[in-house]
Structure 1
């Protein structure tokens, strides 16, 4: 690619199959694709894994369908992981004009830096809190006006109406035990302005608002939740800079004896507790390289840092840092990541924001994900 920022965007889109709109000039029909991914992981907090020298296994098989019939757009993705299967997204859409389109179904929640507030296979810490690459069921309108892009959306519930199901891709409130809170009736508004400095140098500034209800199945009462974020996403030649700050709060109507300080989230088959209120700070930098190393044509190297500051009693800060590179070679894309976390779920922690036994310990893992995308 001519410019590093264009390569980085194309790489991210190909790796994670972003929803795209289809113009009226394109032929009718549905195109099918997919991916097969293998994953190697070495974890310093897993003695048996270390004794084996890590583990290498099939991580994912997925099928994508995308295209148009008439003037109606379809975009869907199904995934099979080792232990479960899940819908990633599935929506139908319509373009009213080049400036306005609508998506109905399981579609990406418009919040913060889009499409991702990260560069690594591991995403940022906000992903595990449901604030990055989250997909819910509802309707979304995207409107472009000059340098501005506006997202307005309403989501009735998460991608699954089965609130106890932790076998899902997106992180949502899940029920289990005395945790009986579910997400419902969510509204989102996002406004972003793209400032163009030169042909390959741009800065996007944006503000995101999110609000919804929390229904407790035990008390049969509705609580509330909200989140607000401001972001900067800058592309400067081969460099990309992402900065984001957000504040959030969950206010459930729990029964007597159940703390309001923590809520239960879940995905990938595992539920965990997360601080119900807090602030999340993200700082990411990446540089793209165009190379000619045999089949390897591009690199994107990065460092992604997330700091989570809980605002509830009996809590402790959570930190996640990912350093790595993504490598492209034809249809093969591979991530080489070193993930370090303190009190961070999925990096050796017990949850997010918990003041538990692992709160003060840094844990890390070396991860290689190799995918063939077709």
Structure 2
């Protein structure tokens, strides 16, 4: 893999040469596409000597976000989808980057409009593929594995007039990849329970059910939904096996160009205090080669409000989508501080370009600031704790511009 400096050089050269119009390659029934994205980030980050950092004192930094390849296949009633992603290194500690599959499934469209997907697919939980969020940052559901979660299994979708039902069975999570990095079990796209010590827990045999009912009015259309999830946690150590569950109610209301999406979720990870963390109040999760800790039990309220502005009179812009979002991990453990996040921003679209401009404020998110550190936590020293005990409970900010070209 490339070093960070090489990623930056390649990113700048490629993105400056990209055309405005997006186009994928078609080879028979197979469409080949992808995306390349880069970030400008500034905020409450510690300055770093001898190289650029995200800190205000350094003026922020530009870095490659990701490069991905997408494959879409359709022949008669057979469909398939695959996506593979590459991420850069961190520029220090000889971390050269990492890569992993995001999606990989084969499906069949039945005559009754239902569909089955087999393989690495998106778990049916929450109101949309990305929860309530419209922003690049997502909401707090994502960071506890309850939005845009990819697992290995079978999903069946059945539309019936105004009602759509989803059923899923997942034999395991998506697994880790390219493991010679910072972490042992967290090189993956979506957040799962991970086993960094070899003596922890792994996700097994998860069941999902989701129902969404559309109520169409004269001026307002609303998708009312509920999601349920239950799965096992297989022990690799001396602790007993555990399990986990989550339940959510959600809605997406559309009135003209306005969209309002609220969601309320309860989740509970039943783990043994004999696990390597030494407590049953925290669970080890991970993604993007970054292990973290979350509270074992919590409620998550989340809401997003957006307004789409079409711009036919602006040659360089198709539309702009301003949004404001709020979400919080409200923990049942009295000694833990809640983890809140608010995001205000907009998405800008033009042909193959899609640009996010986000300003995020949080008192408990691993990716919004680092000046106050991540608090104290049991377990390994690298295990952050902003989603868990959140002992610092300090508000920090992150300004982020994500430049993405999709083809």
Please give the TM-score of this superposition, normalised by the length of structure 2. 0.81
Residue 58 of structure 1 corresponds to 64
Cα RMSD of the aligned pairs, angstroms, is 2.0
Deviations for 1:70-104, whole angstroms, at most 9, x for unmatched residues? Answer: 53211111111112111111100001124211000
Q: Per-residue deviation at 1:219?
A: 2.3
How does 1:68-147 map onto structure 2 within 5 Å? 68-69=74-75, 71-82=77-88, 83-116=97-130, 117-147=132-162
Say which SS state the counterpart of residue 141 (structure 2) adopts: helix
Cα contact 1:219–1:253 (8 A) shared by 2:
no
| Unaligned runs of at least 5 residues, structure 1 | 1-26
Query: How far, CA to CA, are the matches of 2:275 and 2:318 in structure 1?
Result: 59
Q: Per-residue deviation at 1:201?
A: 3.1
Residue 223 of structure 2 corresponds to 204
Residue 272 of structure 1 corresponds to 292
Q: Does 27-36 or 320-329 show the bigger shift? A: 27-36
Cα contact 2:295–2:389 (8 A) shared by 1:
no
Deviations for 1:243-299, whole angstroms, at most 9, x for unmatched residues? Answer: 000100000234278200000110111101100001000011000001132311100
Cα contact 2:328–2:340 (8 A) shared by 1:
yes
2:320 matched to 1:299?
yes
Q: Does 250-259 or 220-229 show the bigger shift? A: 250-259
2:318 matched to 1:285?
no
Cα contact 1:28–1:68 (8 A) shared by 2:
no
Residue 6 of structure 1 corresponds to none
Q: Does 47-56 or 59-68 show the bigger shift? A: 47-56
Residue 7 of structure 1 corresponds to none
Cα contact 1:150–1:192 (8 A) shared by 2:
yes
Say which SS state the counterpart of residue 351 (structure 1) adopts: strand
Cα contact 2:35–2:404 (8 A) shared by 1:
yes
Say which SS state the counterpart of residue 169 (structure 1) adopts: coil
Cα contact 1:186–1:210 (8 A) shared by 2:
yes
Query: How far, CA to CA, are the matches of 1:202 and 1:334 in structure 2?
Result: 27
Cα contact 2:193–2:285 (8 A) shared by 1:
yes
2:204 matched to 1:190?
no
Cα contact 2:338–2:390 (8 A) shared by 1:
no
Cα gap change, 1:38 to 1:61, in 2 (>3 Å): same
Cα contact 1:140–1:154 (8 A) shared by 2:
yes
Deviations for 1:329-367, whole angstroms, at most 9, x for unmatched residues? Answer: 1111100000110122222354344334422x1011100
Q: Per-residue deviation at 1:214?
A: 0.7
Q: What is the aligned counterpart of 2:342 among 321, 329, 336? A: 321
Residue 169 of structure 1 corresponds to 189
Residue 388 of structure 2 corresponds to 354
Query: How far, CA to CA, are the matches of 1:37 and 1:111 in structure 2?
Result: 27
Cα gap change, 1:370 to 1:98, in 2 (>3 Å): farther
Cα gap change, 1:270 to 1:232, in 2 (>3 Å): same
Cα gap change, 1:178 to 1:278, in 2 (>3 Å): farther
Query: How far, CA to CA, are the matches of 1:204 and 1:131 in structure 2?
Result: 19
Q: Per-residue deviation at 1:300?
A: 0.4
Query: How far, CA to CA, are the matches of 2:339 and 2:317 in structure 1?
Result: 36
More strand by share: 1
Query: How far, CA to CA, are the matches of 1:96 and 1:39 in structure 2?
Result: 41
Say which SS state the counterpart of residue 133 (structure 2) adopts: coil
Query: How far, CA to CA, are the matches of 2:174 and 2:220 in structure 1?
Result: 36
Cα gap change, 1:28 to 1:143, in 2 (>3 Å): farther
Cα contact 2:185–2:196 (8 A) shared by 1:
no
| Unaligned runs of at least 5 residues, structure 2 | 1-26, 49-54, 89-96, 375-383
Query: How far, CA to CA, are the matches of 2:113 and 2:272 in structure 1?
Result: 41
Please give the TM-score of this superposition, normalised by the length of structure 1. 0.88
Cα contact 2:42–2:400 (8 A) shared by 1:
yes
Q: Per-residue deviation at 1:52?
A: 1.7
Cα gap change, 1:262 to 1:153, in 2 (>3 Å): same
Residue 40 of structure 1 corresponds to 40
Query: How far, CA to CA, are the matches of 2:159 and 2:273 in structure 1?
Result: 41
